Amino acid sequence: MPDKPRLTREQIAQRAALELPDGAYVNLGWGIPNLIADHLPKNVQVYFHSENGILGMGRRAKPGEEDLDLVDAMKVPVTLISGASFFHQADAHLMTRGGHLDVAVLGGFQVSEKGDLANWKVPGAKGSGGIGGAMDIAAGAKKLLVCMEHTTKEGAPKIVRQCTYPLTSLSCVDTVITDLAVIDVQPGGLMLREIAPGWSFDEVQKLTGAPLMTLGRPPEIKLD
Partner 1 sequence: MAHKVYSSLDLAVADIPDGARIMFGGFGGAGFPNNLIQALSQRGIKDVTAISNNCGTKDGELGLMFKHNQVRHVIASFPGPHAHYFQERLAAKEVALELVPQGILCERMRAAAAGLQGFYTTVGVGTEVANGKEERVIEGKRCILEMPIHADYALIKAEKADELGNLTYRLAARNFNPIMAMAATTTIVEVEEIVPIGAIPPEHVLTPAIFVHRIVQAKGIRYAG
Q: Which residues are catalytic?
A: 51
Which is closer to partner 1, CB of 138 or CB of 195? 138
CA angle 219, 190, 196 (to 5 degrees): 30
Closest approach, Cβ 190 to partner 1, in A, equals 19
Which is closer to partner 1, CB of 92 or CB of 145? 92
Reported for 209-213, long-range contacts at CB under 8 A and 24+ positions apart, including other chains, are: 209/156, 209/157, 209/158, 209/159, 209/160, 209/161, 210/112, 210/113, 210/157, 210/159, 210/160, 210/161, 211/113, 212/181, 212/183, 213/186, 213/188, 213/189
Q: Cβ(73)–Cβ(132) under 8 Å?
A: yes
Residues that bind partner 1 (CB under 8 A): 22-23, 25, 45, 47, 49-56, 67-75, 80, 82-101, 116, 126-136, 139-140, 166-170
Which is closer to partner 1, CB of 84 or CB of 223? 84
Q: Cβ(138)–Cβ(144) under 8 Å?
A: yes
Closest approach, Cβ 38 to partner 1, in A, equals 19
CA gap 15, 179 in Å, rounded: 10
Q: Cβ(7)–Cβ(16) under 8 Å?
A: no
Closest approach, Cβ 153 to partner 1, in A, equals 19
Which is closer to partner 1, CB of 19 or CB of 136? 136
The conformation of residue 77, written as its DSSP 8-state character, comes to B
Closest approach, Cβ 19 to partner 1, in A, equals 17
